[in-house]
Chains A and B, each alone.
Chain A
Amino acid sequence: MIRPDEILETIEMIDRENLDIRTITMGISLRDCASESAEKSCGKIYDKVTRLAEKLVVSATEIQTEFGIPIINKRISVTPIALVAESSDAKNYTIFAEALDRAAAETGVDFIGGFSALVHKGYTSGDEKLIESIPEALSSTRKVCSSVNIATTRAGLNMDAVARMGRIIKETARLTADQGGLGCAKLVVFANVPEDNPFMAGAFHGIGEPESVINVGISGPGVVQSAVRKLDGADFGAVAETIKKSAFKITRIGELVAREASKRLDTRFGIVDLSLAPTPAMGDSVAHILEEMGLEKCGAPGTTAALALLNDAVKKGGAMASSYVGGLSGSFIPVSEDAGMIDAVRCGSLTLEKLEAMTCVCSVGLDMIALPGDTSAETIAGIIADEAAIGMINNKTTAVRVIPVPNMKVGDTVEFGGLLGSGPVMEVNRFSNEKFIKRGGRIPAPIHSMRN
């Protein structure tokens, strides 16, 4: 028998602590949409996506109503387009992005991810064309998200691709200068990219995945913060235990929603991604959880340890709650999407270097960070290389999603709007790394990758 206090607890989480399902993402394979004619291929892509995802938004709304849990985003992820477009005659893959954009508009989803390439060992012709098309594709579409994987623990770090992505990010910012460089908010550079991440901008439908899946991304920083607040001065063991229990409850809802969506859409259930994903709204901040643990401001000494505890406790609690856990699963630290992070940057407590340290113990990397507009492509490449090295050596996913905002400098704020929030432009080390980046080639895989 469900007790009244349990019912009220759930309602309190939803009403007052911002508990919600952050996203339902349908992954769709476009492997069978390749064609020698780019036009034909785009037609197949549009048809398949709109056919399979036709009821996605409607079903999500029904589930939201029946269970009383807000489902904030409905999204689609597809096979990395570099693979799909490769056999075609197109020299520029923007038309593929446009086809995805039209399909996204038709199905009513808010983002479609997968304008992507995997180049950790090197480029194929399709990979190169895709990457070169990214700036134009992201500036001429609204809902398309792009990602490029440039390193894995097994393959090493492709520094040629790193250098190129530095330039691509700059060019993307330039082409979307009138929107504060918004194109870069839809572009992620990865190391050890997961194949089933439901969150944007890095979502794509991996090659080992089936025809279609439903993946759910949960959220709930507010719930965790509230639970920690009730603990007063309790020791770290108690804090970890409390976070574990909250993560369990949150993930259970994700699992329920995933199974319901899977049933209604007649699509296989993939995974629940138990990531604490903040939003700019009050009471929905990961930084505030860390501060609740006893830090005056996120970024103060102890922040990395706090985040390590949080990330690990979330995984432990969540793993018990769901049969299939995947994606990024941990804690996100996107600066512009977290009220507490924004605050901490503004008052000088949180720096880029501290964020880099934090990426060692959480599930993403340097995310949604606004940089000065005059930051060089080489500097951005260096930032990517550093993050990729952390991911490669530590066998984890890391990523970089930075926005060099045209015409802005440290102290300015760029407004992206909605869930993408607003970003205070952060300070970057100004010393040159040009000779370093110019070397090119690949950094070999670390020795512990030889596990066989």
Chain B
Amino acid sequence: MKSFITVIGEDNVGIIASIANILAEQNVNILDINQTVMQDIFTMIMMVDTSEPRCSFAELSEMLTEYGKKAGLSVRIQREEIFRSMHRI
């Protein structure tokens, strides 16, 4: 089961590292990363494998949101179906 983590906000040192740490701890494998910094706005999209996380999806989502709050970023995780259903016939 694939999901997308989207991070949007002010660029800072350690964003990828922090999130990768949370994911590694929960046995969530990172499959792809796409990242740009445009006019100081950092946008990162990670495709991750959420088939067998150590915690529940809701808990993982909570951890990422918490990190986002501390770091002043918008961080969210969503299952890929929402994007697939909207953008593919």
Contact = CB atoms under 8 A, between A and B. Distances in A.
- Give the interface centre of B57, B79, B80 by most chain A CB atoms within 10 Å: B79
Contacts of B45: 4, 7-8
B76 A11 contact: yes
B77 interface: yes
Interface stretch (A61-69, A165-173, A273-281, A417-425): A61-69
A252 B6 CA distance: 21
B6 A7 contact: yes
Contact of A255 (B57, B77, B85): B85
B6 A8 contact: yes
24 contacts: A2-B4, A4-B43, A6-B83, A6-B86, A6-B87, A7-B4, A7-B6, A7-B83, A8-B6, A8-B45, A9-B87, A10-B86, A11-B76, A65-B57, A65-B58, A65-B61, A67-B79, A68-B76, A249-B86, A252-B85, A253-B85, A255-B85, A256-B82, A256-B85
A66 B78 contact: yes
B13 to A, nearest CB: 22
A249 B87 contact: yes
B81 A256 contact: yes
B39 interface: no
Interface string B24-36: 0000000000100
Contacts of A7: 4, 6, 45, 83
Contacts of B8: 11
A67 B87 contact: no
A10 B82 contact: yes
Closest 7 CB pairs of A and B: A68-B78, A256-B85, A252-B85, A6-B87, A67-B82, A249-B86, A2-B83
Contacts of A65: 57-58, 61
Interface in A15-44: 15
B84 interface: yes
A10 B57 CA distance: 20
Interface in B2-44: 4, 6, 8, 34, 43
Given A8-B43, A11-B76, A253 B6 contact: no
B70 to A, nearest CB: 20
Contacts, number: 58
Given A2-B4, A7-B4, A7-B6, A68 B86 contact: no
Interface of B: 4, 6, 8, 34, 43, 45, 57-58, 61, 74, 76-87
B85 A66 contact: no
Interface in A410-442: none
B87 A4 contact: no
Among A4, A62, A249, residue most surrounded by chain B Cβ atoms (within 10 Å): A4
A244 to B, nearest CB: 13
Contact of A10 (B58, B61, B83): B83
A452 B11 CA distance: 68
B43 to A, nearest CB: 7
A67 B86 contact: no
Interface string A244-266: 00000100110110000000000
Contacts of B74: 15
Interface in A62-85: 62, 65-69
Interface string A41-56: 0000000000000000
Interface in A298-353: none
A9 B43 CA distance: 13
Contacts of A15: 74
Contacts of B79: 66-67
A4 B45 CA distance: 7
A202 to B, nearest CB: 28
Contacts of B4: 2, 7
Among A4, A7, A67, the one with the most B-chain Cβ atoms within 10 Å of its Cβ is A7
A2 B87 contact: yes
B34 to A, nearest CB: 5
Contacts of B34: 4
Nearest to B89: A320
A249 B84 CA distance: 10
Contacts of A11: 6, 8, 76
Nearest to A249: B86
Q: Which of B57, B58, B82 has the most CB of A within 10 A?
A: B82
Given A10-B82, A11-B6, A66-B79, 13 more contacts: A4-B43, A6-B83, A7-B4, A7-B6, A7-B45, A10-B86, A15-B74, A67-B78, A68-B77, A249-B86, A253-B85, A255-B85, A256-B82
